[in-house]
Structures are given as structure tokens and as C-alpha cells.
Amino acid sequence: FTLDGPTIDFYEKVVTPPPPPPPPARASIIFPFCPCSSFSIVSGNHRRTPSEPWGRSDLSTEDRAYVERHNVLIRATIRLIDACVRSSVEFVCENVATRGDSTTHAYWERYERWGFLWDIDEFKAYERVHNASRILVAHCAYDSRVQKYVELLCSHGLLDRARAILGDKQCKHAFHP
């Protein structure tokens, strides 16, 4: 087909359908977040317990609203991790370390009755049912001035790599400012 110009392959330009779109990108790892301040011992505000990890029943109206704002994000994180589990996508979730487990370096008797993210049934199930595991990390082992212990909940497929990267760095200090 020509009209005093370059030759145009009409069939190729008009009739041939465009190629299919590429497949959607697939995540290989998700790192959801949960707010930590409503679990933190630094605030000095005891808002959760191991038996009431969604918030103590005797909270003030102001503290209840604060915890509920955080709970919305925690529920979203649970939905995201559930999607990862269903889709075989690896995940890591970081939050304040529980202080009530006397078998860990993070144990602190003064805070053993405080509730932490890891006391929530869904997070317990990731460990029990889906073979996820928590890795304890001390910020001060990475040159932080403060002793802030966090735990990383890692899906089973990431656990060996996470342990290799993080090593066994624990707090070795007798005192922190």
C-alpha cells in the first residue's frame, strides 16, 4: 500500500493486535510497619498487657483513642502479612521487643506485665502456624547511644539470611544514659 510515499505495511500497523502487557510485578519481600509508641516502655504509659494487647480496658478516653489509632494500622499490617502468607511472599515486621520473656536479653522484670505487638494472637500464629520467627536486635549493638531492643518477625524463607546479616549482636553494656 503506497500513496506516493513510503511503503506502509497496512496489516502490521492496523490489523495486528498490540502485544500483551507485561505481567504485573511480583513483590519478593514486604516490610510492613506497625506503630511502636503505644507498646514502648520509653513513654512510661502502660497502655497494653499480655492479656489485653489491643489496649487495657481501664484506659482513659484519651489513651483509648491513641491506642485505637495504632490498632487501625496494626490491623492493616495483619491483613498485609496475611496476603503475603497466601501469596508466598516473604515478609519482615519490626516492633518493640517484648520485655516479659525471661529467656531473652531483652527481659526486664519491671515491664514484664506490659503488652507488646507479639502478644497479639495473629502474630503468635505467624510463628506457630507459618514458621515465622523473631530475631532480637539491640540498637546499641549498632552504635546507638540507647538500649532499644526490637524484634524482627521474619517469614521462614528469610530467616537464615536475616540471621546471617544481623549476626548475634546483643547489648553488652552495663549502663545506658
Q: What sections of the chain are H helices per DSSP?
A: 10, 61-87, 121-128, 159-166
The mean per-residue pLDDT over the stretch 34-55 comes to 91
Q: Give 86-89 contacts, CB < 8 A, sequence gap 24+.
A: 89/26, 89/27, 89/28, 89/29, 89/30
Cα distance between residue 165 and residue 175, in whole Å: 26
pLDDT at residue 147 in the model: 78
What are the distances in angstroms from CA 13 to CA 17, 18, 173?
Answer: 9, 9, 72
**In this predicted model, what pLDDT tens digit does every residue of 128-150 receive, in sequence order?**
999 999 999 988 888 887 778 89
Residue 46: pLDDT above 50?
yes
**In this predicted model, what pLDDT tens digit does every residue of 105-131 receive, in sequence order?**
889 999 999 999 999 999 999 999 999
**What percentage of residues in the chain have a pLDDT greater than 90?**
59
162 neighbors 92 (Cβ within 8 angstroms)? yes
What are the distances in angstroms from CA 153 to CA 45, 66, 99, 126, 167?
Answer: 24, 24, 16, 9, 15
At 55, the amino acid letter reads G
Cα distance between residue 31 and residue 99, in whole Å: 23
Mean pLDDT is lowest, of 74-78, 86-90, 104-108, 172-176, for: 172-176
Q: Give 161-169 contacts, CB < 8 A, sequence gap 24+.
A: 162/92, 162/135, 163/135, 166/135, 166/137, 169/137, 169/138, 169/141, 169/142
Whole-structure pTM value: 0.80
